[in-house]
Homo-oligomer: A and B are copies of this chain.
Amino acid sequence: MTPNPADQAVIADFHALSGFGETERGGVQREAGTEPDGGQRAWLTQWLSSRGFTVEFDQIGNQFGMLELVPGAPYVLVGSHLDSQPRGGRYDGAYGVLAAAHAANRLAGLWRDAGRTPQYNLAVVNWFNEEGSRFQPSMMGSSVYTGKLDAETALATRDLAGVTVREALEDTGCLGSGRGPEAACYAEIHIEQGRILDEEDTTIGLVESTWAANKYHLVVHGEQSHTGSTVMADRQDAMLGAAHLVVAAREIADAFTETPLHTSVGQMLIHPNSPVVVAREVRLHLDLRSADENVLAEADAMLHERFPEIEKKARVRIEKATAHSWGVLSYNPDGVKLARSAAEDLGLSHRHMMTIAGHDSTNMKDIVPTVMLFVPSVDGISHNEKEFTKDEDICAGVDLLTEVVSRLADGDLTG
């Protein structure tokens, strides 16, 4: 079957977008505020401007492509993020922004042709730094937009090379001012980052709630010494303490066989990280996630029981620098119904599901009615260059997002 021109345009644009920061193995590397991130943002500005959208950056570099049809009315925001992990996949975030741009552009055309205006204005959004690999915390742009994070604090955050968010935004020409357009509601589409839709051969995931999560930033304090000559019993080895934490996190996950618990340590900053020095300090991020708050609480207790034992084994002190946690949080149930009805009308297979990963929609749902949609990701591969979603799912997702945003713009969810 030859794809229709609208689908062809989505696929062609997705290929163009995937060229920014492309890696040898078919992935992308465009961390927030880097040169390829600036490049793709300029590309999006051009794409939106040439189609009649007014593009603006807010105080934290969120990029908005606005279509003001009802002077003074709030906006339906639709989008995701273009930034990626180092050697990340092409679809994560970028697909959602591109789908939003195509959905908004289609609706603009439909409304123009029909000579009618919706209840709300419409804006495509590309949130700044959702990934949080270069600058922590993740979901930075939507956190500032929703008032959960102070803009000045975010702008002063430094990457490991000492560059601030403010400098990175200035360097890429993406530092604006103000707080962006006022939102009436929000919609986002994303690849699943799990195997459920792929294994069940279902096209659409209707996200009902988040997994619960406890995230810790831990500092293991030891004492620097010579790796060779220091007597083993004298060592206060921060690296050993950190290694025990990594192993403990995995053992705790393996203890839950009925309801899955996900645990991980993805980053360690080791000081001084010299081959011949016992580490004096290791800073690491450890997180626990589950769909069941009771499982999470039990796992958390198990982790805390391990701390004194690890402190004794490695002769270190474990400091909890920051802790960030959330429960199983619902998306707007009427939004789920609206999206299900739209999927049914388009004849797309669908199922309700939870999201394990965080998204900008996780922030947005706390301030406005929010719809979150998933499309399948083959083998559930995520944060990896091999991430892949089929063109037919890409296109079906854009069709559904267009229908959902159309209904949101007409006030179907907000009355």
Q: Does A136 contact B (CB under 8 A)?
A: yes
User: Using Cβ atoms and an 8 Å threshold, which residues of chain B touch A275?
Assistant: 132-133, 136, 138, 266-267, 285
Known: A87-B280, A232-B253, A253-B232. A227 touches B264 (CB 8 A): yes
Q: Does A411 contact B (CB under 8 A)?
A: no
B356 touches A229 (CB 8 A): yes
Contact among B131, B234, B240, B382 for A250, CB-based, below 8 A: B240
Determine the distance from Cα of A384 to Cα of B237 in the docked complex, in whole angstroms.
13
Q: Does A19 contact B (CB under 8 A)?
A: no
A: number of interface residues (CB 8 Å): 72
User: Using Cβ atoms and an 8 Å threshold, which residues of chain B touch A229?
Assistant: 192-194, 262, 355-357, 380, 382
Closest-CB distance, A273 to chain B (whole angstroms): 5
User: Using Cβ atoms and an 8 Å threshold, which residues of chain B touch A231?
Assistant: 194-195, 260, 262, 380
Interface residues of A in 197-244 (CB under 8 A from B): 211, 213, 223-232, 234-235, 237, 239-240, 242-244
Contact among B234, B242, B254, B287 for A228, CB-based, below 8 A: B287
User: Using Cβ atoms and an 8 Å threshold, which residues of chain B touch A3?
Assistant: none
Closest to A267 in B: B275
A264 touches B247 (CB 8 A): no
A382 touches B225 (CB 8 A): yes
Q: Does A121 contact B (CB under 8 A)?
A: no
Known: A228-B287, A247-B244, A357-B228. A266 touches B260 (CB 8 A): no
B266 touches A227 (CB 8 A): yes
Copies per assembly: 2
Determine the distance from Cα of A183 to Cα of B382 in the docked complex, in whole angstroms.
59
Closest to A289 in B: B228
Q: Does A279 contact B (CB under 8 A)?
A: yes
User: Using Cβ atoms and an 8 Å threshold, which residues of chain B touch A132?
Assistant: 274-276
A86 touches B272 (CB 8 A): yes
User: Using Cβ atoms and an 8 Å threshold, which residues of chain B touch A235?
Assistant: 264
User: Using Cβ atoms and an 8 Å threshold, which residues of chain B touch A357?
Assistant: 226, 228-229
Contact among B213, B230, B279, B380 for A230, CB-based, below 8 A: B380
Q: Does A277 contact B (CB under 8 A)?
A: yes
Interface residues of A in 348-375 (CB under 8 A from B): 355-358
Determine the distance from Cα of A131 to Cα of B260 in the docked complex, in whole angstroms.
46
A381 touches B243 (CB 8 A): no
Binding site for B on A (CB under 8 A): 85-87, 131-133, 136, 138, 192-195, 211, 213, 223-232, 234-235, 237, 239-240, 242-247, 250, 253-254, 260-280, 285, 287, 289, 355-358, 380-385
7 further A-B pairs in the complex, CB-CB below 8 A; given A194-B229, A275-B285: A85-B276, A195-B231, A227-B287, A229-B382, A232-B250, A244-B247, A266-B276
